[in-house]
Structure 1
Amino acid sequence: MTPVSILTLDGVAFALPDGRPLFTDLNECFDQRRTGLVGRNGVGKSLLAQILAGNLAPTAGHCRATGRVHCLAQQIAGPDTTVAQLAQVGEVLDALRRIEAGSCSQADFDTVGERWDMRERLQAQLARHGLEQLDADRPVATLSGGQAMRVALLGAFLSEADYLILDEPSNHLDGPARAQLLSLLKEWNKGLLVISHDRELLAHMQRIVELSPLGLASYGGNYSVYAQCKADESAQAERTLERLKLERQRQARELQQQRERLERRQARAGREARDSNQAKILLDRRQERSEATAGKLQRDHQAARQAMAQRVREAARRVEASNAIVLQAPAPARQAGSPLLTLQALRLPFGDPLQAPLDGCLYSGERVALIGANGSGKSTLLKVLAGLLAPHSGHVEVRVEVAYLDQHCSLLPATQSVLDYLRRRSASLDESSLRTRLAQLGLGAERVELPSGVLSGGERLKAALAGVLYGDTPVQLLLLDEPSNHLDLPALAALENMLCQYRGALLVASHDTMFLQQLGLDRAWRLER
C-alpha cells in the first residue's frame, strides 16, 4: 500500500532573528512510517519540529497537516508542572473541576468538549503502564526522568493524534527507562517522527531523514541502512573530488601547452614579418590580430580555470567536513602491578544508607564502564573520585593525575576561547602546535578564537578533552559522566575515535550501550540503588 502523507513541507524556509537563513526550500512528505530525523547540532531540527507541529510559522513556504499533530519538545516540564499538565490534559481536568463546582462558563464546556471521561482515561493509562501510584496533581519534579517521559508519552495516546513528534526523547534516560520508551513506541500505530542521535532508538525506525545545509535527504531503512548509505556517499564524494583534482591538473597542463604553442606561433610570425617586405600597416594589423587571439585565449583559460575550481569546491563541500580525528596526546606511563585507585567500604554522600558499601580497584590502562539506574550514584561517585565531594564514610585512594569531565564541560570557561584555554593548560606547546592539534580534532581556526560558550556541545567536549589530554601533566585516569548526551552523530563518532586512541585508564558513566560497545572496555562496575 502506498504511504499517505500526513505532514507535507512545500518550499519551507526559516530565518533567524538576525536574518541569517537556517534552512531554505525544504520539500518533504512525512507519512505513517516511523521516521528518524538526524543532523548536526545547530542545523535546525528542533525548529523544524515546531514548524511541523504548527507551533511556529516558517519564514517562507507552507507546512500542511492532514490530521492532528502532537509534539513533545526536549524540555517537557517546568518546575511547577503537574502530571496532568505533562500529559497535556491539565486544562481539561481543570475545566471539569469548575463545571463540577457549578461553573456554567461556555469556555469550560468548549475545553471539555466530548472528553467528559478524561480523568478516568488518564488513570487507566497510568495504571496500564505501571504508574498507577501517580496522582494527576503530583508535581513532575518528584518523578524520575523515565517516569516523566512515560507520562508525557501517555499524553500522546490520550490526544488521539494522527502524528507524534518526539524531540530527543531518550536523553537522560537509564536502561530500564529506555526499554520502556521503546515499548511505548511499539504500541504507537500512527505517524511518528523521532529527532534523535540515539543509535539504538534509530535502529527501530523505518526511515531516516537527514537535515543539512543542503536540505532534507531521505534514506529508506533504519540507522544501519542510513550509516551504510552515508559511508557509500562519503566514499563516492572522495572519489569524485580526487577525479576532479586530476582533471584540474590535466587541464592546467593542456592550457599551458596551448599557451606555449601560441607563443611559438607568435614568435615565428614576428620573425617572418621582420624578414618580409610587407607594409607597416599590414604588419600592425597582423600584430593586433595576434594580440586579440592571445587575449581571447587568456580569457578562455581564465574562465576554464574558474569553472574547474568551482567544480572542485562543490565536490569538496560534499566530502564529510570533519576528517578523521587525530589525537596526539602521549600515552601516560603505566604502573604495572599497582592500582591507580582503590575503594574500601566506601559510602557515597546523599546516598541510601542501606546501599551496600563500594569496594574495588582500577589498574593502569583499564577501561571500565560505570553503569546503573538513574539515582544509583554514578555521578556522585565520579565527583568523589575527582576530589570534588567527600565520601560519607570509608576510604578512597587515587594515586595518579585525574581529570573529570561532566556533561556540561565545566572545565571549559564559557567566556574563554578554546585557544586561550589550551594556552593555559599546555604552556609547553607553542601556538602553532596548539592550532594544529585543534585542527586535527575538527576545531578550525575561526572556531578556536570564539568564546567557548557559543560553540556546539560536540565542539565544547572536544575542546575540553584537548585541554585534559594535551596538558603539561599527562592524565593517567579519565573520568567521564554521560559524555555522549546531546552530541550529534558526527561528534559522537569523533568522541569514540578520540577515546579509542587514549591509552590511559578510563572510567565512563553512560546509558548509551552502543557508545560503550565502541570503547573496547575491559569490564563494568554496576551500582545498585
Structure 2
Amino acid sequence: MLFLQEVAYAHPNRDVLLSDINLSVNKQDKIALIGHNGAGKSTLLKILAGEIAPTAGLVKSNSKPYYVPQLFGQFNEKTIAEALGVSAKINALKGILDGDVTEANLTTLNDDWSIDERCQVALSHWNLTGLDLSVKMGMLSGGQKTKVFLAGIMVHNPELVLLDEPSNHLDMLGRDILYDYIQTTPHTLLVVSHDQTLLNLAGTVLELSKRRITAYGGNYDFYLTQKTIENDALNQDLKSKEKALRKAKETERQTMERQQKLDSRGKKKQEKAGLPTILMNTLKNSAEKSTSKIKGVHAEKIESISQDLSQLRSEISDTGKMKLDLDNAALHQGKILVTAENLNVGFKRLLWQKPLNFQIMSGERIAIKGANGSGKTTLIKIILGDLLPGAGNLQRAEFKAIYIDQDYSLIDNSLSIYQQAQRYNTGMLQEHEVKTRLDRFLFPKEYWDKPCVALSGGEKMRLMLCSLTIGNQAPDMIILDEPTNNLDIHNIEILTNAINEYKGTLLVVSHDAYFLQRVRVETEIDLSEFR
C-alpha cells in the first residue's frame, strides 16, 4: 500500500530532520504516528502526501493519498470548493447546467454528475449543513475548517488517508464523529495526533524520535505499557552504570595509592642501596611510565562508563524532573468559592436557554464542557469576576485564581525566558535558585536569554509551570482553557503530572476526555444542556 525506504529530509539550511526512515503500511492498517514537537511528524506526512519531496530515499504508494493538514490559516483565501479540490468540477457542472455544454467542461467534470450533491452530504455529515462551497475558508472557525477537510474524505473516498492533528479544533461532538469514522472506516489510515482517545483506536503506534521510527504493535495504552517497561529497564541500567562508575573510581583510587606506596618503598630501597644517579633516574622514569600506564587504563575505563551513563540519561524521560512543589492552596477543602443562581448572559437575547445553577467548592476538579460557541470562555470570565452576568446572581468568595489559556497569554513575549521567570519571583529567590528551577524545566543556560516570543506551545507551557514554582504560593484555583491543543504527547504528560500534584481547585475547559480522566476531574458543568 505504502512503502518508504531510506527516506531522508534536510531543511534548506541543511539541518537534517529525517534520515534512514523505513516504513511499510499495509491495506486497512490504522497507524498512529507520535513523537516530540520538532521530530518531523508533519514533515513526514507531507512527504507521503507528495507536498514536499524527500532529500533522499524512495516513497512508493499504490494510490494517491488524501491529506488532512494541520491548519494555521494557510487556506484562508481559498474557497471551500478549492480547499476540497473540487472547484474545477463544480464550475464545470455549473457551466453545463447553465447551458455551456463545451468539450472542456465535459472533460473537466468527467461524468462526476453527483459532485455537488456529494459535497453537501459530506458537509452535512460533519454538521456543516447548508454551507455554500463558494464561502472563503477564512470565514470559518478552526473547527469548521478541520471539518471541511474531513468532509473531503467522503467526497473523494480515497484508499489511503493521512491525518495531521485532526481533532485539534474539534468540539466533543466533532470528535465523536471523527472517532466513529476511525473505528468503522475501511480506509488505510496514518494519523499524527496527541489525542490519546484517538490514539487508542489505532492498531499500531509508531514513535518518531532521534531520526528513527520504532513500531509498537498495539494502541496507545499498549505503547505506554511498553514504554514503562523500557524506562524501568533503562533506570535499572542507569543504577548499574552509576554503581560501576563509583566502583571504577574507587578501584582507580586504591590502585594509585598502592602504586604510590610501592614507588615510595622502591625509591627508599634504591637510596639505601646507593645506586648510581643514572640508574636511579632510569628506575624513576620506569616507575612513572608504569604509573601513567595504570592511570591511563583506569581513565579509559571510567570514560567509557561515563559515556554509557550519559547516553542512558539522555534516553530516560525528563518528565519526572518537572515537579510543581508548590505550597498548598491557602483555602480549606470544601469552602464554597462560587455560587451561581439562575445565571445567564445577555439582555435582549440570553446566551443560555436555561439559566445556570451550580457551586464550586475549594479542592474540586471540574470540567466545563460544551460545543464550540456554547459560552465556555464567557462563563470563565464571569467566574473570574471579569464579566458581570446579564441575569441571575453569582456570589464569589475571595480567592486567588490563575487563568492559563491555550496561547499561554500570561507569558510576556517581549521578555526573555529569564526575565519572565523573575517576574514571578515574589519570594525573592536567589539568582542561582531561579536558574536551577529553569534548568529543571528544560531551560538550560543557553535558553535564558532566548525571547519568549520564539517559544513553542510546549515550551511556553513548561515556562508557565516553572514560573508557578518560582512564585511558590499556589493559587487557590487554576483554570485551564483547552490546555492540550498545542502540546505534543511528551508535554501533555508533563502537564498532567504537574496538575496532579496541585492541591487546589481545578477548572478545565477541554474536549479531550482522556486528559480529563487523567487529571481526575470529578464533576462537570455541561453547557450543551443549556443551549
Q: TM-score, normalization: structure 1?
A: 0.89
Gaps of 5+ in 1: 1-5
Match of 2:25 among 23, 27, 30: 30
Instruction: Find the aligned partners of 1:337 and 1:239 in 2 and give their Cα distance.
Output: 42
1:395 aligns to 2:390 (yes or no): no
Q: How does 1:427-506 map to 2 (within 5 A)?
A: 427-430=426-429, 431-467=431-467, 470-471=470-471, 475-506=475-506
Number of residue pairs the alignment of both structures matches: 523
1:298 aligns to 2:276 (yes or no): no
Aligned to 2:339: 342
Could you say if the C-alpha distance between residues 322 and 204 of structure 1 is closer, same or farther in structure 2, counting changes exceeding 3 Å? Answer: same
Instruction: Find the aligned partners of 1:487 and 1:16 in 2 and give their Cα distance.
Output: 23
Aligned to 1:3: none
1:322 aligns to 2:319 (yes or no): yes
Aligned to 1:518: 518
Instruction: Find the aligned partners of 2:7 and 2:122 in 1 and give their Cα distance.
Output: 37
Q: How does 1:100-499 map to 2 (within 5 A)?
A: 102=100, 104=102, 111-113=108-110, 115-126=112-123, 133-140=130-137, 148-276=145-273, 281-334=278-331, 339-349=336-346, 352-353=350-351, 355-399=353-397, 400-430=399-429, 431-467=431-467, 470-471=470-471, 475-499=475-499
SS at structure 1 position matched to 2:319: coil
Could you say if the C-alpha distance between residues 328 and 130 of structure 1 is closer, same or farther in structure 2, counting changes exceeding 3 Å? Answer: closer
The answer (yes or no) to whether the contact 1:403–1:468 under 8 Å persists in 2 is no
Could you say if the C-alpha distance between residues 392 and 79 of structure 1 is closer, same or farther in structure 2, counting changes exceeding 3 Å? Answer: farther
The answer (yes or no) to whether the contact 1:203–1:224 under 8 Å persists in 2 is yes
Instruction: Find the aligned partners of 1:492 and 1:368 in 2 and give their Cα distance.
Output: 18
**Displacement of 1:138 after TM fit?**
4.6
Instruction: Find the aligned partners of 1:483 and 1:391 in 2 and give their Cα distance.
Output: 25
Map Cα deviations across residues 71-125 of structure 1 (whole Å, 9 max, x no partner): 111118733444433433223222444566537575x666544645433443454
Q: TM-score, normalization: structure 2?
A: 0.88
Could you say if the C-alpha distance between residues 328 and 127 of structure 1 is closer, same or farther in structure 2, counting changes exceeding 3 Å? Answer: closer
SS at structure 2 position matched to 1:323: helix
The answer (yes or no) to whether the contact 1:87–1:156 under 8 Å persists in 2 is no
Instruction: Find the aligned partners of 2:88 and 2:453 in 1 and give their Cα distance.
Output: 38
SS at structure 1 position matched to 2:516: helix
**Displacement of 1:523 after TM fit?**
1.6
Instruction: Find the aligned partners of 1:118 and 1:341 in 2 and give their Cα distance.
Output: 53
Instruction: Find the aligned partners of 1:346 and 1:448 in 2 and give their Cα distance.
Output: 46
Aligned to 2:60: 64
Which shows bigger deviation, 16-25 or 181-190?
16-25
Map Cα deviations across residues 418-443 of structure 1 (whole Å, 9 max, x no partner): 33223223332323333344444454
Instruction: Find the aligned partners of 2:145 and 2:232 in 1 and give their Cα distance.
Output: 42
The answer (yes or no) to whether the contact 2:327–2:472 under 8 Å persists in 1 is no
**Displacement of 1:127 after TM fit?**
6.0
Could you say if the C-alpha distance between residues 352 and 88 of structure 1 is closer, same or farther in structure 2, counting changes exceeding 3 Å? Answer: farther
The answer (yes or no) to whether the contact 1:327–1:437 under 8 Å persists in 2 is no
Could you say if the C-alpha distance between residues 489 and 454 of structure 1 is closer, same or farther in structure 2, counting changes exceeding 3 Å? Answer: same
Please provide the CA RMSD for this pair.
Answer: 3.0
Could you say if the C-alpha distance between residues 185 and 505 of structure 1 is closer, same or farther in structure 2, counting changes exceeding 3 Å? Answer: same
Could you say if the C-alpha distance between residues 341 and 447 of structure 1 is closer, same or farther in structure 2, counting changes exceeding 3 Å? Answer: farther
The answer (yes or no) to whether the contact 1:348–1:377 under 8 Å persists in 2 is no
Q: Which amino acid aligns with 2:60?
A: R
Instruction: Find the aligned partners of 1:24 and 1:514 in 2 and give their Cα distance.
Output: 33
The answer (yes or no) to whether the contact 2:37–2:488 under 8 Å persists in 1 is yes
1:15 aligns to 2:14 (yes or no): no
**Displacement of 1:206 after TM fit?**
0.4
